[in-house]
Amino acid sequence: MKKVTLSVVALTMTMMSFGQTQCKSLTKDSIQCKNTTKTEVLLCHVHNPNHVTSSDKVTVICSGTTKKNTKCKNKTKDTSGLCHNHRKD
Per CB under 5 A, residues contacting Zn ion are 23, 25, 33, 35, 44, 46-47, 62, 64, 72, 74, 83, 85-86
Nearest to 60 by CA among 71, 68, 45, 49: 71
DSSP secondary structure code for residue 88 in this structure: -
Nearest to 21 by CA among 7, 33, 8, 9: 33
- Smallest separation, CB 47 to Zn ion (Å): 4
Nearer to Zn ion (CB atom), residue 60 or residue 64:
64
Nearer to Zn ion (CB atom), residue 12 or residue 85:
85
